Amino acid sequence: MDTAELLALYEQMALIRRTEKAAHDLFLQGLVKGTTHLAAGHEAIAVGASAALRDDDYVFATYRGHHHAMARGATVEECLAELMSRATGLCKAKGGSMHLTKADANMLGSYAIVGAHLPMAVGAAWSARLRGTGQLAVAFFGDGATNIGSFHEALNLAAVWKLPVLFVCENNLYMEYTRIADVTAVPRPAADRAPAYGIPGEVVDGNDVVSVQEAVARLARRARAGDGPAVLEAETYRHFGHSRSDPATYRPAEEVERWLKHDPLDIARGRLIEAGVPEETVTAADGRAQTVVRQAIEAAKSAPPPDPREAFTDVWADGGAAWRT
């Protein structure tokens, strides 16, 4: 990867990091309702994977999906407006934090039932094969999803139908509040199970955007060549708790400290400096990200709330919601 591309990925990660920080702050100010599941710390997975995908590839994500929506083209303003229940939100304020979706970029949704979207990604890959488009489908999911039935059903079906789908696990060590190791029989909950379905299971440093990009590019080539699905387990760490109500006090201090030192932004910055990119250039990218987020916060704040009548649109394809004559 050349330094210009790496710098662009760095800037995208910086943008996501600052957006997540903004979501956190806006929640504390009472401007974001419900809950949020922040992805600060996971940026390299979304950004690295997206860099390896075609624009027309399909992406499915979880309720912790801000970074995936942004990596696939959702603007900071659209995302923050959605979180702040504004009419200009990505989903017209009908989805919220857990359902960020950018369908016109083939980012086909964030799903709040753990594991539910894995079979959908299989279906999108099946559809791509039926239509002969060469498109790939990618399902990003957490380590906790690996103990859900749909994970196993999806892997088996994708394998037996030899479909172009990648299953990318964001293993952040915790299934909500519980260590995944305490409730899971194998140490690598996704990669270790892939061989049971006759498909490759690889592990990658999920905090290194270059490693993620390379791994996804390799597995994507394989899938597009007709060699079937693969599992990529990306090791990472949440900077915040599971959700807004979780201070994450169950995590040992030394573990937190170790992982915070292994920060995706620091790793990418280190790679850039090592490749001879001036420090000021990297700092300037940070500054641009900061400006974009600051402007997005103001724009979202000044956007109107949704028209109450919007509650009764979009159930059916004709736009309406009538269930009777």
Partner 1 sequence: MADVITYREAVAEGIAREMRRDPSVVCLGEDIGEAGGVFKTTAGLLKEFGRERVWDTPISEQAIVGAAMGAAMTGMRPVAEIMFSDFLACCWDYLANEIPKVRYMTGGQVTVPLVVRTANGGGLGFGAQHSQATENWALTVPGLKIAAPSTPADVIGMMAAAVRSDDPVVFFEHKGLLAAKGAPAPPGHVVELGRAAVAREGADVTLVALASMVPVALQAASLLAEEDIGVEVVDLRSLVPLDMATVLASLGRTSRLVTVEENPYQGGWGATLVSVVADEGFALLDAPVRRVAAECVPLPFADVLEEQVIPTVDKVVAAVRSLAAY
Contact set with partner 1 (CB under 8 A): 58, 60, 89-96, 99, 101-104, 108-109, 111, 113, 116-128, 130-131, 137, 149-150, 153-154, 156-157, 160-161, 313-319, 321-325
**Least spacing, CB of residue 144 vs partner 1, in Å:** 15
Least Cα distance to 12 among 60, 59, 44, 49 occurs for 44
Closest distance to partner 1 from the beta carbon of 313 (Å): 7
CB of 25 or CB of 56, closer to partner 1: 56
Cβ neighbour number for residue 263 with a 10 Å cutoff: 20
Record the tokens describing residue 150, joined without a space. Answer: 């749909």
CB-wise, 116 or 173, nearer to partner 1? 116
- State the nearest-atom distance from the C-beta of 213 to partner 1, in Å: 24
Rounded to a whole number of angstroms, the minimum distance from the CB of residue 319 to partner 1 is 7
Q: Which is nearer to partner 1, 23 or 158 (CB)?
A: 158
Token representation of residue 75: 């603007």
Q: What angle do CA 172, 218, 236 make, to 5 degrees?
A: 10
| Spatial distance between the Cα atoms of 38 and 32, rounded to a whole number of angstroms | 13
Q: To the nearest whole angstrom, how small is the minimum distance from the Cβ of residue 4 to partner 1? A: 32
Q: Whose Cβ is closer to partner 1: residue 93's or residue 219's? A: 93
Q: Is 171 helix (H, G, I), strand (E, B) or coil?
A: strand
Please, what is the minimum distance in Å from the beta carbon of residue 264 to partner 1? 28
Strands in 6-120 per DSSP E: 58-62, 107-111
CA separation for the pair 139, 60 (Å, rounded): 5
Distances from the Cα of 46 to the Cα of 53, 111, 130, angstroms: 11, 16, 27
